[in-house]
Amino acid sequence: MSSHSKTFKHATMAHCPVSRSDNRPNNRPKNLRLISIRLPLPALISILHRASGMLLFLVLPVLLWLLSLSLQSPQGFEQALDIMTAPWMKLFELGLIWAFLHHFFAGLRHLSLDLHFGLELAQARFTSKLVLSVSLLLTVAAGVALW
């Protein structure tokens, strides 16, 4: 209960950066022009980090099953290879490879931010572009290797 109310308070604060405890009239605009608000690049990296993490979480059972199958017997190994080299599966794997690479590099970026590297806006934008492009380029390279 207490943790819930804490989260709620925190969320409200985030939407209201101007403190209203000093009783000044709130003359902030009431209608937000949603079209003029764009998602900043670091925010895109962040939301993709979450999405790719959830995707990787959901496919864990399938990946573990494939590992199990490949280690069971020579037949199982061949079967796992057949599954993984089916054309439509390759497409799915490419998606997973991108999710892994994006999550990996966005995570490394996160760790570097924790160490106070790249906190300036220009640097944050640059490393965001770096994460996005390196993971996409390596995904293309993986695609070439797959086909």
Partner 1 sequence: VVRSLLHLFSHGMSEWLLQRVTAIVMTLYAVLAAVVLLLSRPLDYAGWRGLFEMQIVKIATFAFFLSLLLHAWIGVQDVLSDYVKYRGLRAALKLAAAIMLILLGVWSLQILWGIAA
Specify whether the CB–CB gap between 49 and 101 falls below 8 A: no
Stretch that binds partner 1, among 85-93, 100-108, 127-135, 136-144 (CB under 8 A): 100-108
Question: Is residue 108 near partner 1 by the rule CB under 8 A?
Answer: yes
Q: Which of 104, 113, 124, 142 binds partner 1 (CB under 8 A)?
A: 104
- Which is nearer to partner 1, 31 or 75 (by Cβ)? 75
Q: How far is the CB of 29 from partner 1 (least distance, A)?
A: 26
The residue from 77, 92, 117, 126 that contacts partner 1 (CB under 8 A) is 77
**Using the 8-state DSSP alphabet, how is residue 120 labeled?**
S
Each residue 38-57 as x (binds partner 1 by CB under 8 A) or -, in order, gives: ------------x--xx-xx
SS (H, E, C) 35-101: HHCCCCHHHHHHHHHHHHHHHHHHHHHHHHHHHHHHHHCHHHHHHHHHHHHCHHHHHHHHHHHHHHH
How many chain residues are in contact with partner 1, going by CB under 8 A?
Answer: 23
Residue 99 CA to residue 21 CA, distance in Å, equals 44
Number of helices (H), then strands (E), in the chain: 5, 0
Residues found near partner 1 in the complex (CB under 8 A): 4, 7, 50, 53-54, 56-57, 60-61, 64, 67-68, 70-71, 73-74, 77-78, 104, 107-108, 111, 114
